[in-house]
Amino acid sequence: MKEIKLTDSEKVIMDILWEKKKIFMKDILETYPEPKPAATTVATLLKRMQNKELVGYKLYGNSREYYPLVEKREYFKEEMTSMIDRFFNSSVTQFASFFTSNAKLSQKQLKELRDIIDEQIKE
């Protein structure tokens, strides 16, 4: 799969698209958090995201209804894999060790993590 890279501004738009599923640009502008960018900026970002094959659209006259071409889960998986590769030498074990010792997890949360791991081992 092609690597997914989003700038912070693109990520804001993708979050809106993932939440709304389908949305017109005027609605993206209304939903965009403050400070809101200019319409031309959003149009440029959407065009760049289309070129990256992250966003598609359906034309209704002169209006475009945008929708995500990448699922949020897929994006998150790619981001996590990239982070583990960069910071933990591709070692999930090093990541898990760092995460569990630095995240200040409660005993209950640690038990929940262990239960998730135990469930994966059974499969």
**CA atoms of 36 and 79, how far apart (whole Å):** 26
* 44, amino acid identity: T
- Domain co-membership, 15 together with 63: yes
Same structural domain, 92 and 58:
no
**Hey, how many other C-beta atoms are within 10 angstroms of the C-beta on 99?**
13
Residue at 3 is within a domain: no
DSSP classification of residue 96: H
Same domain, 51 and 15: yes
Q: Is the pTM of this model over 0.85?
A: no
Q: What is the pLDDT along the chain (123 residues), one digit of tens a residue?
A: 456 788 999 999 999 999 999 999 999 999 999 999 999 999 999 999 999 999 999 999 999 999 999 999 998 888 888 888 988 998 888 888 888 888 888 889 888 888 888 888 886
Domain that holds residue 115: 72-122
Q: Could you tell me the maximum CA-CA distance found in the chain, to the nearest angstrom?
A: 57
Of 62, 67, 72, give the one whose Cα is nearest residue 22: 67
In a domain, 59, yes or no: yes
Question: Is the same domain home to 78 and 36?
Answer: no
